[in-house]
Structure 1
Amino acid sequence: MPASNAMRLIVLPGDGIGPEITGATVAVLEAVSDRFGLGLQLEDDIAGHESLRRHGITVRPELLDKVRGADGLILGPMSTFDYTDETKGGINPSMYFRKNLDLFANIRPARTYPGVRHHAAEEFDLVVVRENTEGFYADRNMTSGGSEILVTPDVCISMRRITRECCERVARSAFRLAMTRKRHVSVVHKANVLKIGDGMFIEECRKVAAEFPEVVVDDYIIDAMCAHVVRAPGKFDVIVTTNMFGDILSDLTAELSGSLGLGGSVNAGVRYAMAQAAHGSAPDIAGQDKANPFSLILSVAQLLEWHADRLGSTAYAQASRAIEAAVESAVAAGEATADVGGRLGTKATGEAIVKRVREVAVPA
């Protein structure tokens, strides 16, 4: 019987390799829904190039209403660099949903996997929690207009917005997450130069830290942190930082694990969340059955965990852990794409995860 709290998800396959990896991901979701009696409701729609071709705009206004009426969103990779002119319908779907759904925390796990050659000095398991709605991003700072100003043809000024509210809520997300892990939070900043903005970020992180006395807290300047995670990533647990620093660190730590394709990503707010692969649309390999679907599959596992936390649902939490365990065992067995040392194509990799998710023991 379907669960009475069945989760309704909108699925947007995206551009390039998006339809291929989304197809594999949906098959995994259907399998885990059957096993744990979730009764997941998956509704397909379009955004990106397909929407631009059909409707003259990459994201239709009514699509936002549809997503708001659901419990979550699965966003396939989008050709972000192609969408430069909003007056011609070229809205960046990722930015659009993050901003309009107030998805303030981008949670990006990175870990090493048995059987995958990694690029770090040691094995590790950490999470980057990145503020997602302000910072040095021209599309998230102003109600009207952008935050980059071309003063002369040769001089540009870029402004950054930092608010106490956004600092506090992303810090709280990081500390709550740390309580479920190794109870260690590292605050990353550049307060030696950005004294006011990053100073405010540190202040808010320390205020939240006072509410979590069980959590060990330290802080690092961003440039030093990049060196530390390469040299000794195993000493970190949860890393919390502002938008642009987190954007860079999360890609770095995912690649250190062996491939950006092994990094999941969920954009979470209070009411909504969006699963999104950590990589781009890779049009050069689209349609060739080469794309690694693990990033999006792991992202939907995070989406189920977010829903489990909201509801206090054991079934959704078990489903999330089953997907993660299935990916780990498949990678170790070589049932993966070539970029992570496997021997399968995209579709066969998805089928391998489906088989494993039906049988794998679920960690407590």
Structure 2
Amino acid sequence: MTTQDTYRIGLLAGDGIGPEIVPAAVQCVDAAARAVGLAPIDWVELPLGRSAIDTHGAAVPDETLAALDGLEAWMLGPHDSVSYPEPHKSKLNPSGTIRKHAGLFANIRPVKSFAGSPSLVPGTDLVIVRENTEGFYADRNTYMGTGEFMPTPDVAIAHGIITRAATEKIAKAAFELAMQRRKHVTIVHKANVLSVTTGLFRDVCREIGAQYPEVQLDDFHIDAMTVHLVRRAPDFDVIVTENMFGDILSDLSGELAGSLGIAPSVNSSLTQAMAQAAHGSAPDIAGRDIANPIAMILSAAMMLEWLGARHDDERLVRAARIIDQAVNDTVEGGVATGDLGGTASTSGFAAAVASTIETASLAPDTAR
């Protein structure tokens, strides 16, 4: 791939706090793009969620999926699918629908505590690499339907599927990431009970690990891993696991680092990437301008870094790093939302980050 003059990025605001935190991320991305000399981002707004049900008759309209097929990257706000009217509530949720449609097999979820901000486990700095297409999330495991069914009114069954092909892909992503970090990968499984399924996951990850002799490799059962994270999260670097375990561990880790509101993620295939905060739609605080936008802002930065690597465009990589640093500097400077012990609003925090980016762009080490 080559660098481009203008990048087109999709915007799906979603439900709840989505229409507040997604614009906050856009504001920061636009500021970083200016700082590194990129042409303005071409934002492509697409319908999704409860509003799309009202206007298009579906939470993820066909026109949205068709538009995503023509994009390399997009930002997805949180959705509140549990509040959708039937039959939409019972269908695969918007996030799962898009991940499945685009084949976004890797969900990369960094967790890092902020200096100067409350944290249950200070010094946490790890990444959870979550397989995104199968495992024990039944809604990812079938071509049609959700992977759950009831043969009788009193019996419910869910498919849990692990394949060598999917595990090899996510394991390679984990070890490649570890090579860029502290060269330590931890496999999380439950092979003492789910010996065939998660046993296969563990064994295939070990096989891939043998190709990376520089990387330290260990493994833990999922239940033990929750205890290890609470006791000594800073000891871990890259954690690779299946879908449901990864979701649970990332929520736990985010809270240990300070708040789920600071937990970003990117979902990717080899050709497309979706920025998505690890948290939900928080309908109880929607519309109040108090949600923490950090997770969405940092997810957008991860997306820019992915695009920069794909297009060999150092400007995008620099923009991502500028956003990361600006968020850190803003929090360390005492500006934070309520979940981190501060008083800033969603929009106020975003404005502070954007201002920090604009100031940093004038410094010698970031000047173009």
Common fold, TM-score beyond 0.5? Answer: yes
Gaps of at least 5 residues in structure 1 are none
The structural deviation recorded for 1:331 is 0.8
Q: Do residues 79 (structure 1) and 75 (structure 2) align? A: no
The 3-state SS of whatever aligns with 1:359 is helix
CA distance in 2, matches of 1:259, 1:230: 14
Match of 2:100 in 1: 99
**Could you tell me how far 1:86 is from its partner in structure 2?**
4.7
Deviation at 1:65, TM superposition (A): 1.4
**Amino acid paired to 1:329:** D
Question: What residue is the counterpart of 1:215 in the other structure?
Answer: 215
Deviation for aligned residue 1:154: 2.7
1:321 equivalent in structure 2: 321
Give CA deviations for 1:186-210 in whole Å, capped at 9, x if unaligned. Answer: 0010011111111211221122112
RMSD (Å), alpha carbons: 1.8
Cα offset, 1:145, TM superposition? 3.5
Counterpart of 2:353? 353
- 1:41 matched residue in structure 2: 42
Q: Which secondary structure does the structure 2 equivalent of 1:358 belong to? A: helix
Q: Could you list the per-position Cα deviations for residues 271-292 of structure 1 after superposition, in whole angstroms to 9, with x for gaps in the alignment?
A: 1110011111112111111111
Tell me the distance in 1 between the aligned counterparts of 2:86 and 2:161.
Answer: 23
Equivalent residue number for residue 237 of structure 1? 237
Structure 2 stretches of 5 or more lacking a match? none
Q: Are 2:249 and 1:249 equivalent residues in the alignment?
A: yes
CA distance in 1, matches of 2:342, 2:82: 30
In structure 1, give the amino acid aligned to 2:148: E
Q: Structure 2 vs 1, CA of residues 66 and 349 (structure 1 numbering), >3 Å: closer, same or farther?
A: same
Q: Does the aligned pair in 2 maintain the 1:98–1:267 contact within 8 Å?
A: yes
Deviation at 1:4, TM superposition (A): 2.4
Q: Which amino acid counterpart does residue 97 of structure 2 have in structure 1?
A: Y
> Structure 1 residues 89, 198: closer, same or farther in 2, change over 3 A?
closer
Distance in 1 of aligned mates of 2:175 and 2:94: 29
Contact 1:264 1:299 in 2 (8 A): yes
Letter in 1 for 2:232: A
1:27 corresponds in structure 2 to 27
Matches for 1:178-217 after TM superposition, within 5 Å: 178-217=178-217
The equivalent of 1:66 in structure 2 is 67
- Cross-structure match for 2:331: 331
In the other structure, the counterpart of 1:281 is 281
Residues 28-55 of structure 1, C-alpha deviations (whole Å, 9 max, x = no match): 1111111112322211122101111111
Amino acid at match of 2:118: R
SS of aligned partner of 1:182: coil
Please tell me whether residue 149 in structure 1 is matched to residue 111 in structure 2.
no
CA distance in 2, matches of 1:146, 1:283: 25
Q: Secondary structure at the match of 2:59?
A: coil
* Equivalent pair of 1:84/1:90 in contact (CA under 8 Å): no
Does structure 1 conserve the Cα–Cα contact (< 8 Å) formed by 2:49 and 2:59?
Answer: yes
3-state SS in 2 of match to 1:187:
strand
TM-score normalised by structure 2 residue count:
0.93
Q: TM-score, normalised by structure 1?
A: 0.94
